[in-house]
Amino acid sequence: MKIQHQISERAYSASGFAGRYQKLVTDTVIPWQEMILWDKAPDTEKSHAIANFINAGKALRREDTGDGFYGMVFQDSDVAKWIESASYSLMNSPDPELEKELDNVISLIAEAQDKDGYLNTYFTVKDRDKRWTNLHEAHELYVAGHMIEAACAHYEATGKRTLLDVMIRNMEHIRDHFIVKGNPGVPGHPEIELALMKLYRLTGDSRALELCCHFIDERGQDPELFIREADNRTWSVWNSNPRDEGDREYRQCDRPVRDLEKATGHAVRAVYLYAGMADLASETEDEELMAACRRLWKNIVSRRMYVTGGIGSTVQGEAFTVDYDLPPDTAYCETCASVGLIFFASRMLENEINGEYADVMERAFYNTVLAGMALDGKRFFYVNPLEADPGISGVAPTHKHDLPVRPKWYQCACCPPNVARLIESFGKYAYGENEDTAYCHMIASGKVVFANGIELVCDTDYPHKMDVNYSVKGKGRLAIHVPGWSKKYDIIRDGKTVDAELVNGYIYCDIDGESIIEMKLDDAPYFVYSSCLIPRTAGMVALRRGPLIYCFEGTDNGSVKALRIDRDSKPEISSFSEILQVYTVSVKAFREDASDELYPDTPPESSPFTATAIPYYTWGNRGETEMRVWMR
């Protein structure tokens, strides 16, 4: 069933925009996060993540564990994602010192593994007798999944089996517990499903595939599974009650996965699960499972996704709510959720080539994912609102989660390393291949050597400039995705304009030898209008240029609350911001005069104003200020 698969990360050498971001992650983000994991970063919230592994090793050796375990129950996953991003970095930029640091951290992880293969510092240090008794809350399988993904990336990068063998033993332990011994249970937080598929494809170990099938097939078969689990224990991590109304939908276990119709519950858990489902569907040719994935995809992108590619509209459970509930000011839009949406989209592309999946990957990456990290790589958003108002955002009880300034770090630090690993592995999502076709899903400057023999060099300043040049050689086909946002485009091959047929968002070019293929996209900024079905933004307008959603900041405009956009005007590229390294867009607007009265009975005076917009991913990099994506 698989139409194409991801390329090896080694096959892609990034340049341009992607290359600059990978360099930022390699030079700044990975070292910064390493300092945090070792509790060496100044003026930053304590992590203790590496110390937890050291103390787990001591616990297994029956030594004094000193300060014990500290952090979230899933603190180990921060280390796993750091290892994964650092491993991808080694593929992109070999670094003996970084490889040595990885060897050191992995040795600590190996020492923290129990003799039966179990690996989780929370339970090894703190609650050894409670292993596998609280799948509802305790994230054991989630952590194992991230460790498996780290092990796969590390082996791909170095050829070393040090972490891979640890995680194969851990997989064997998990399989023994849930399949051989028949203990009931599914992940409270899905993630291990897609990790097991990576392990299976890397090693060919059918037990990993069997375990993935087991967790996906068992999910929702017994909607009261977590209730019975809670009845059999006397302890809790967060005092969450599986009997609470909506808990089964919240954890995506209210029905078998093949019966799912709508995206529900915790947004990150949902898209991690759906990515695993689509991954399994492509491997096993399970059309019923794929049909469920299509339904879930359609529900997300047509009713439950923000214009920025953010998902999860409420702070209450970091969750999806109902169709068209997409408030901009209290939006949650967790960075990890958009990373997960990219995972889901990329797995859907493995099953069927459809430009909509690539369009959503691009929307989520260039807007919400990149907004999750400051331009200097040292501050991070967990939550990505579409409005910010100093004095309200991060202050009012309803807006406490919507911070107007990125923190350096936070205790629940799942998002920063997630952004880092995605950026370092960007080539996997931008390009794909099968036996005779090379796929360009996202426009990414750099060189690609496909396993099918095709070689490609992409030269572009995308997403800020819209001309793309592909130099390609080999024998087979090149499939170029034409972004759905481009109102017009030209394809020029070896100097001649080509009237190529667009098939599900892709243009296919036969390759036999060498060719230069140019794609010229529409670089004009334009308005995006909100559906009247979305209550809070009905009648409002946003700006878009290329894949980038724009926003208005007080730094450029004064109070953006006082602005109304002239919808009859034409937005224009206005200048290049040296500080933000982006093109700004200007548009005619009207500024209303502020009134001292809360509710005056006369209309406000207004005057013409030229408003300036910047790409959404760059907001919040020039100090605390107002921000709006949707404008009156």
| H or E segment and range at residue 361 | helix 355-363
First to last CA, the chain: 47
Residues designated as active site: 318, 414
320: how many CB neighbours lie within 10 A of its CB? 28
146: how many CB neighbours lie within 10 A of its CB? 26
d(C-alpha 113, C-alpha 108), whole Å: 9
Tell me the HSE value of 132 on the side-chain side, using a 13 A CA sphere. Answer: 15
d(C-alpha 407, C-alpha 21), whole Å: 20
384: how many CB neighbours lie within 10 A of its CB? 30
d(C-alpha 289, C-alpha 9), whole Å: 28
Tell me the HSE value of 568 on the side-chain side, using a 13 A CA sphere. Answer: 1
| H or E segment and range at residue 200 | helix 192-203
The rounded radius of gyration (Å) of the Cα atoms in the chain is 24
d(C-alpha 107, C-alpha 518), whole Å: 49
Alpha helices in 501-591 (DSSP H): 554-557
Beta bridge partners of 577: 582
Burial classification of residue 527, based on how many CB atoms lie within 10 Å of its CB (0-12 exposed, 13-18 middle, 19 or more buried)? middle
Q: Please enumerate in sequence order all residues whose Cβ is within 8 A of that of 422, keeping only pairs 6 or more positions apart, or say none.
A: 339, 342, 365, 369, 429
Burial classification of residue 103, based on how many CB atoms lie within 10 Å of its CB (0-12 exposed, 13-18 middle, 19 or more buried)? middle
Tokens 């929702």 label which residue? Answer: 220
DSSP result, 367-394: IIIHHTB-TTSS-B-SS--SEE-TTTTT
Which tokens in the block code for residue 626?
A: 């107002």
Alpha helices in 29-95 (DSSP H): 30-37, 49-60, 76-92
Specify whether the CB–CB gap between 131 and 163 falls below 8 A.
no
Distance of alpha carbon 305 from its chain centroid, rounded?
A: 14
Specify whether the CB–CB gap between 147 and 76 falls below 8 A.
yes
Specify whether the CB–CB gap between 393 and 307 falls below 8 A.
no
